Amino acid sequence: MGYTDQRFDVNLSILFTELPLLERPAAAAAAGFTAVELWWPWIETPTPAQEELDALKNALEDAGTQLVGLNFYAGRLPGPDRGAVSVPGEESERFNANINVAADFAASVGCKALNALYGNRVEGVDPAVQDELALKNLVVAAQAADRVGAILLIETLNKPESPLYPLVSAPAGIDVVDKVNEATGLGNAKFLLDLYHLAMNDEDLSEVIEKYAAKTGHVQIADKPGRGAPGTGELPLEKLLDQLKKAGYQGYVGLEYKAADAAASFAWLPAEARAAQ
C-alpha cells in the first residue's frame, strides 16, 4: 500500500505558521491538500466574535479545503498549558464556554472530529478531583459533539515534553475513552493515535495499533527524534500506516510535524497522494 493509499490532512496550527491564520488554508491547497485540521485558533479566548469565526469559515471554503479536525479550547498551544478539561477554576470554565462554540463552528464547516486535551496536573489539587472534573466535562463535550454528528477525540501526549500531563500512554487514553462512552452511552468518544507522542513514550507502536485500531478516531504523525517530516527520523511511518489500514482504519492521517518551510517539507509525499479521497 504505502503513503499513496492514505488520506492525509495538514495541521495548520503547526505547519504554515509563518502565514496569518486566514492565509493558511490557501497555502495548503496550493501544496495540493484538500483536508486540514486546527488546534483551537484563538488561544486568548474560547468565545471569539462571530466575525472571526465567519472569516475562518470563508477562508476554508474559498481555498476548497475541508476542516476534518478541530481542538476544543486548550489554553496556549504550543506551550505549557496542555489542555483545560481537568483544570479546576477559570480554565475549566473557559473550556465549558467553548464547547458549544466549537461544536457549532465544526458543524458550520462540516468538521466531524473534535479533540479535547485533558489538561495538566495542578499542584495542590488531588488527581482524583481532576479526573472527576475531566470526566464531567468530557461527557458534556461528547454530547455536544454528538449533537453535530461529530466524534470526541481523546489524545495522549508524551512525558518528556509534557511531564505534568497524565495521559502519557495509549492504555491511559483508551481508559478515558471507555469511561466517557460508558458515562454517555453514545459511543462517540475515540482515541487520537499520535504516533510521535507514543514513540516518545517508548511504546511499541505496532502493538498499540494491533490493540487499539478499532477505537481510533484520528491519527497524527511526525518523525522521531525532532518531530520533523517523515523520513527525517527513525520511525517506520509508512509501514505503521499500512498496518493501521490493514487493521481497518479508514480515517485521516494528520501531518503534525515541525518544518521551517512547510511547502518544501512535503517532498516525501507524492503530489497525487495529497488530495484526500
Cell numbers 510521535: residue? 196
| Number of residues assigned to the chain | 277
Strands 35-38 and 66-71: parallel
**Cis before residue 20, ω within 30 degrees of 0?**
no
Residue 83 per-residue DSSP state: B
Instruction: Choose the catalytic residue: 132, 155, 161, 207.
Output: 155
Calpha distance 13→76 (Å, rounded): 12
Kindly report the backbone phi and psi dihedral angles of residue 189, in degrees, each rounded to the nearest multiple of 5, phi listed first: -85, 130
Instruction: Choose the catalytic residue: 37, 91, 203, 256.
Output: 256
Task: Judge whether 256 counts as a catalytic residue.
Answer: yes
Torsion of CA 47, 87, 195, 256, to 10 degrees: 30
Residue 263 per-residue DSSP state: G
Task: Judge whether 234 counts as a catalytic residue.
Answer: no
Enumerate the active-site residues.
Answer: 155, 256
